[in-house]
Amino acid sequence: YHSLPSIGRFRNYMSVWGRECAIIYTLLVKEYPILEIFQPNLSLFG
């Protein structure tokens, strides 16, 4: 039972990390349009 709060924090952390990756990806695509090929993989980050 002790692990439940940490799992919640971990999932919240992953959600924030996913948004950060999406922002970074968006900025990179502006510089390197070829990265758009990998856009479907963003779903992994939520």
Residue with tokens 């919240």: 12
Distance of CA 19 to the CA centre of its chain: 5
pLDDT at position 9: 81
pTM, whole model, 2 decimals? Answer: 0.42
Residue with tokens 């990265």: 35
Q: Vertex 33, ends 19 and 37: CA angle to 5°?
A: 75
Distance of CA 12 to the CA centre of its chain: 11
Sequential pLDDT tens for the chain (46 residues): 455 667 778 777 778 888 888 888 888 888 887 767 766 655 555 4
Rg over alpha carbons for the chain, rounded to the nearest Å, is 14
